[in-house]
Amino acid sequence: MRSAVRYFGVTNWDMNQHAKIETKIEIRHSTCPHDCPSACALDVEVVEGRSIGRVRGSKKQTYTAGVVCAKVARYAERIHHPERLMYPLRRTGAKGSGQFARISWDEALDEIGHRFNQAEREFGAESIWPYYYAGTMGLVMRDGLNRLTHVKKYSRFYQTICANVGRIGFAIGTGKIAGVDPREMAVSDLVVIWGTNPVNTQVNVMTHAARARKERGAKIAAVDIYDNETMKQADIKILLRPGTDGAFACGVMHVLFRDGYADRAYMDKYTDCPDELEAHLKTRTPEWASAISGVPVAEIEAFAKLVGETKRTFFRLGYGFTRSRNGAAQMHAANCIPAVTGAWQYEGGGAFFNNYALWHFNESIIEGQDAIDQTTRALDQSKIGRILTGDAEALLGKGPVKAMLIQNTNPMTVAPEQALVRQGFAREDLFVAVHEQFMTETAEMADIVLPATMFMEHDDLYYGGGHQHISVGPKLIDPPGECRSNHQVLQALAPRLGASHRGFEMTPRELIDATLKLSDHGDIAGLEADLWRDLQPDFRTSHYLDGFAHADGKFHFKADWAHPPFGKTMGDVDQMPSLPDHWAVIEHSDQVHPFRLATSPSRSFLNTTFNETPSSQAREGKASVMIHPLDAASLDIADGEAVTLGNTRGETTLIATLFEGVRRGVLIAESVHPNKSHVGGRGINMLTGAEAVAPIGGAAFHDNKVWIKKATAA
C-alpha cells in the first residue's frame, strides 16, 4: 500500500539543553472493518511504526470522499485502550463473576482442544457450535471460523440478526441485491432516506445527499419512526408508526396512479403486472394509509406529488426494514415506488439498499466450503437463548450444545431474548471460549478468554455493502501483549482438534490472494496498488435498463415469497402479501402493553463496539428511552426519571427522555448499552424476541410491544 511520511518536531528540555526530537508519522491506508455499510476508506497516522494517531476519511476513494464518523476518527482511543485484553485467561470464579487468572497460550489452546474433543466423543460433533458475527467485516477474520465448523462437522451457523430481511425484500423486486451507484445521490433532485439514520450510522450518505442539495437545490426527505438526527436535517419529514412503511408506500402509489404520475410506458416494458398492481391499490387510499401509519393524508398526498414530479428521485433504503416482522414486505413495497414512476431510467434516480451482488467473492478456501456436510444442522444465530436452554425446535430435534468458540460478537448483550441467553450461558455443563478485544459481558461468562487483535494489527480483505469498492486492509502496527488474530487461533486449534485443510496452512495474505484469484479479481498485489477498487457496473446495468435480474427481465410487483432467490424459508411465508401491502404481522400494542418499542442505533456506539471508549460513553450518557410528553404526562413520568419497561420476555430500567418527535404510543431506546449500565443489570434486549421473521429468518429488534411505568425505588 502506498504511504506518505511526514515529521513533527517535539521540543524537550533537559538540564537546560534544548533537544529537538523528530517524531516520524507515516500516513497509511486501510478500511474500516466494523458492521457498517460505509466501510470507510481510511488515512491512518502511524506513529513511529508502533502506534496510531488521527484517523481520517480518505479523499482518494470517491464514496468515502474524505469523511469518516467521529468514533472511528478517534480510533486511537480504542486500539490503545488500557483495558484491552492482553493475555489468555482461565475462569477461576463463578460464571459472570469476572474472576480470571492469566495462563499461557498453550494452556488455553490445550484446554479448548481437550474440551471440544471430549464433547465430540460424548455427544457428537454437532454438540459444538462455533459462533461469530460482524465485529469485523473482513472476510478472513470473520468467515474463517466456518472452515473449522465445516471440516469438523460441528453445528453450522445460520446468520439472521442483521440483513436477511432487508436483502430479500429488495431482491424479491429487482432479482438481486444491487442498486444504482450510491454516489448518484449527489446528482439527484430528491433524495429519499427511508428506514435509516445515516447521521448516526452511515455519515457518507449525508455527504452525497448534502452535495445534491448544495449544488442542485435538491430536496432531502426522511421517512422514519422518530425525529432523529437525519430527519432534523431533512426538508421533508415523514414520521411513521413502527412497522407501517408498507401502508405509507401503498398510499403514495395510489396517488401516483390516480393523478397520472405513474410511467405506464416504463412499467409495460420493465415490470411484471402494473395493471394488477393499480387495481390492487384502488382501495389503498391515503386515508387508509394514514389510519395505519399515522402520517396525515395531506403529507401522503404532498410526498406522492413531489416524487411523481421529480424524475431524479433516489430512494436510499436502509436497515430499519430488517428489524420488523413485516420488514421484507415493507422493503418490497417501498422499492416498488421508483418502478411505478420509472425513476430507474434517470441518473440520480432509482433505489439502493446494498451492493452484495457485486463482489462475487469465492470464499471456498476461507470457509472450507469443500468440507461442508449439508446433513449437519445449521442453528439460528438469533435463537441462541432458546438453543442454549434446550428448546427442541431451536435445536432442530437434535442434542444439546455443549461447547462454543465465540469470535467477533457479544451475544450476552446483543442477542434477543436475553433472559434465555443468560440462563443458557450460566449452564455449568456448557464450555465456552471467547476470543475478544475487551472483557465483554460474553467474555465474562467464558471458561477461557483469548486476547484478539484489532483491524490495524492484521491483514484482511474488505468490501463496502453501502458502496462498490473492495480493498485490502494491511497490518499497520504490531498488536499489544500476546494478542492473536482470529486466523492464528484457528491455525493453532486445528492440529489439536484433528482438523486438516489447506486454509489452516496459509497466511492471511495468501488467503486474500487465493480468494481474489478464485473470484476473478486479480491478485493481492494488484488490489493493493489500486488501494480501493471500484466495481460499480456501467449505468445501463446499474439502472437495469437491459432488464432486471429475474429470469423474465422484469421488476416484480408480485413477490414470490415461497421461492426466495437465497436463504431457507421460515416463518409465516404463506401469509405474506404477494402485492405491496401493509402486512399486519407486527407485534401490536394491546391493553397490557400499550406501547411499541424500537431499539434504534445511536451515534457513538455500534452495537456494543465503542461501548468501552470514554468519548463514546460521554456522548451517549445513560441508557434512556424517548417518550412523547403527553404519554409521559398520562403516566406521571417526568423527564430524567427512571422508568421500567416490560413485556412477557422480561424487564429493563432506563431513564425517561421527553421527546415530541415520536408518534403517541411509540418508545425509542437508542443503542445497546451494556447490561450492567442498566439498573438491575438487565439490558434492552430483555424485551426483544427471536421468532423467525419471514421469509428467510431475521430478528425484529424494532418490533416490540411493552408497558412502561415509573421504576420502583431500590
Q: How many CA atoms lie within 13 A of 598 on its CB side?
A: 27
CATH assignment at residue 700: 2.40.40.20
**Look-up of cell digits 476461507:** 366
The predicted structure's pLDDT at residue 7: 41
Grid cell in block for residue 487: 486466523
**CA 683 – CA 669 distance, rounded (Å):** 11
| 540 falls within a domain | no
pTM, whole model, 2 decimals? 0.96
Given a cut of 50, is residue 304 above it in pLDDT?
A: yes
**CA 653 – CA 623 distance, rounded (Å):** 8
- Count: domains in the chain: 4
Given a cut of 50, is residue 234 above it in pLDDT?
A: yes
**CA 257 – CA 512 distance, rounded (Å):** 50
Condensed to tens digits (0 to 9), the pLDDT of residues 550-592 reads 999 999 999 999 999 999 999 999 999 999 999 999 999 999 9
Given a cut of 80, is residue 484 above it in pLDDT?
A: yes
The predicted structure's pLDDT at residue 22: 81
Same domain? For 133 and 40 the reply is no
Q: Please list, residue by residue across 462-499, b when 16 or more beta carbons sit within 10 angstroms of its beta carbon and e when fewer do.
A: bbbbbbbbbbbbbbbbebbeebbbbbbbbbbbbebbeb
| 631 falls within a domain | yes
Given a cut of 50, is residue 8 above it in pLDDT?
A: no
CATH assignment at residue 445: 3.40.50.740
240, amino acid identity: L
| 414 falls within a domain | yes
562 burial via Cβ count (<10 Å: 0-12, 13-18, 19+):
exposed
Given a cut of 50, is residue 16 above it in pLDDT?
A: no
Work out the mean pLDDT of the chain and round it to a whole number: 95
The predicted structure's pLDDT at residue 88: 98
| 326 falls within a domain | yes
Given a cut of 90, is residue 140 above it in pLDDT?
A: yes
Condensed to tens digits (0 to 9), the pLDDT of residues 647-678 reads 999 999 999 999 999 999 999 999 899 999 99
Same domain? For 209 and 312 the reply is yes
Grid cell in block for residue 371: 468440507
DSSP 174-222: HSSS--S-GGGGGG-SEEEEES--HHHH-HHHHHHHHHHHHHH--EEEE
The predicted structure's pLDDT at residue 14: 39
The predicted structure's pLDDT at residue 17: 47
Given a cut of 80, is residue 704 above it in pLDDT?
A: yes
The predicted structure's pLDDT at residue 712: 87
4 burial via Cβ count (<10 Å: 0-12, 13-18, 19+):
exposed
Same domain? For 138 and 264 the reply is no
| 527 falls within a domain | no
| 397 falls within a domain | yes
pLDDT band, very low/low/confident/very high, at 372 (cuts 50, 70, 90): very high
| 525 falls within a domain | no
Same domain? For 498 and 608 the reply is no
Grid cell in block for residue 533: 477498487
| 35 falls within a domain | yes
Same domain? For 206 and 116 the reply is no
Strand, helix or coil for residue 20: strand
Ranges of H-type helices in 594-651: 614-620, 629-634
CATH assignment at residue 284: 3.40.228.10
Condensed to tens digits (0 to 9), the pLDDT of residues 260-283 reads 999 999 999 999 999 999 999 999
Same domain? For 689 and 617 the reply is yes
pLDDT band, very low/low/confident/very high, at 679 (cuts 50, 70, 90): confident
Q: Which domain holds residue 604?
A: 595-710
CA distances from 315 to 30, 181, 182, 381, 536 (A): 29, 12, 10, 30, 18
Percent of the chain at pLDDT > 70 equals 97
pLDDT band, very low/low/confident/very high, at 606 (cuts 50, 70, 90): confident
Condensed to tens digits (0 to 9), the pLDDT of residues 505-537 reads 999 999 999 999 999 999 999 999 999 999 999
Backbone region of residue 333 per phi and psi (left: phi > 0; alpha: psi in -120 to 50; beta: other values): alpha
Report phi then psi at 566, rounded to 5. -160, 165
Same domain? For 196 and 271 the reply is yes
The predicted structure's pLDDT at residue 407: 98
Given a cut of 60, is residue 633 above it in pLDDT?
A: yes
Same domain? For 352 and 381 the reply is no
Given a cut of 80, is residue 25 above it in pLDDT?
A: yes
Condensed to tens digits (0 to 9), the pLDDT of residues 335-355 reads 999 999 999 999 999 999 999
Percent of the chain at pLDDT > 90 equals 94
Same domain? For 334 and 398 the reply is no
Same domain? For 309 and 346 the reply is yes
Closest CA to 318 of 195, 203, 467: 195
Condensed to tens digits (0 to 9), the pLDDT of residues 396-444 reads 999 999 999 999 999 999 999 999 999 999 999 999 999 999 999 999 9
Across residues 585-606, what is the average pLDDT?
A: 95
Same domain? For 621 and 566 the reply is no
Closest CA to 233 of 200, 277, 184: 200
CB distance 45 to 35 below 8 Å: no
Same domain? For 300 and 417 the reply is no
The predicted structure's pLDDT at residue 19: 52
Across residues 677-696, what is the average pLDDT?
A: 95
Judged by average pLDDT, the poorest of 1-10, 147-156, 320-329 is 1-10
